[in-house]
Copies of this chain bind each other. A is one copy, B any other.
Amino acid sequence: MRDVSIIGVGMIPFGRRDEDSLLDLLAYSSIKALDDAGLGDQGVDAVYVANMGAGILQHQTSVASALVDRLSLLPAAADAIENGPASGASAIKNGLLAIASGYYDLVLVAGGEKMREVVGWKATDFVATMTHPQVEYPYGITLPGMAGMFTRLYMEKYGLTREQLIAVALKNQQMGALNPYAHVEMVITKEGIYDHPDAVVNNPVAADPLHLYDMCPVSDGSAAVVLCPLEKAKMIGPKVPVVIAGFGQATDTHTLQERDDPTDLKAVSLASQQAFERAQLKPSDVDVAELHDAFTILEIAESEHVGFFKKGEGGKAAEKGETSLGSRIPINMSGGLKARGHPVGATGVAQVVDIVFQLRHELPKERQVKNARIGFTLNFGGFGNNIVSFVLRRAE
């Protein structure tokens, strides 16, 4: 199997993009990635589109074929990949396998979602289409509801506190405010949350014990990467290639209730172990990580299951600043889903794009992890049902 590298990345500002179609969003980031890879008029062999909701939200199918034509990349092969909010990383994984197989040399992976256009749907109901259609959703359980119950269990079992959750929100909104691609640009302060006379209004309970600031926004957006065999990367692209040193993917039960210990995110542990094993690296080798903080609790729980901290220690570490820039393991220097936003099909690709920016040392010093060489991403599907992880390495 050949080593696969990323030679081009592209992203557009996430947020509300009423004026653009889903295809527009996908095309914009794709063009940036193709340009970043220095491909010029050269085509690609295959295109993967990551998307969760085009059928439901835009009443559109066959989006991958449409994108290939829109980008004048005919007759490239084209498929769309759906794996809920982990669609982005799944699409990159399939692009990686396509190149590793030896059948394809140049692959574009574009992830996108236009979620604010939820005609006849509430965003929460749209996202709940990934829950169990008989035993979860009909009883009113949604993703925020699951996250709330999960947080309560974590508090009871590990002594997690509201202050630890807030520490994640503060960090990620602070970083997001520095990220030109982020949806949420507002800096929040501890005082603003606790002492503000309007705190109850500013930061109301959303799914007890989670409040509004514990949740990611509903965003439109897209991100794209260009992949090629590492051995060809230096002949093609003008930028330092980033190697996908390892990937992992694992599934867990469809419903939370079937798990022996619902606070044990088995698929997160397993997908991460696979990625580290394939990369022949370990969690302590990672210089910078992007985790899937759709809810603040997830960043904390994932930071433990990935192996950055011991079980039950992630909240304390976040509160002590150990996940901030310049500290032990900087997490979500992009602002994460919490601030960059979470257009579901785009997220897994955006995480990889942000790590590529870090490993190419292209970010302003307020967000750049100095001399970052090893990066990690974790994209979370369902409520931990389907996890995809990558270990990324600067290729020199």
Contact = CB atoms under 8 A, between A and B. Distances in A.
Give the copy number.
2
A56 B82 CA distance: 14
Nearest to A278: B103
B53 A61 contact: yes
A84 B61 contact: yes
A386 to B, nearest CB: 4
Contact of A75 (B58, B100, B130, B251): B251
A259 B169 CA distance: 52
B56 A381 contact: no
Interface string A15-58: 00000010000000000000000000000001000001111101
Interface in A61-109: 61-66, 68-70, 73-84, 90, 93-94, 96-98, 100-104
Closest 10 A/B residue pairs (Cβ): A55-B55, A100-B101, A77-B249, A62-B130, A62-B84, A75-B250, A1-B102, A69-B254, A80-B82, A65-B386
Given A55-B55, A77-B249, 12 more contacts: A1-B103, A55-B129, A62-B82, A62-B130, A64-B386, A65-B251, A79-B81, A79-B94, A80-B83, A81-B81, A97-B98, A97-B101
24 contacts: A1-B102, A1-B103, A21-B133, A55-B129, A56-B56, A56-B61, A59-B129, A62-B130, A62-B385, A65-B84, A65-B381, A65-B382, A65-B385, A65-B386, A68-B251, A69-B253, A74-B252, A77-B250, A78-B83, A78-B249, A78-B251, A94-B97, A98-B101, A100-B103
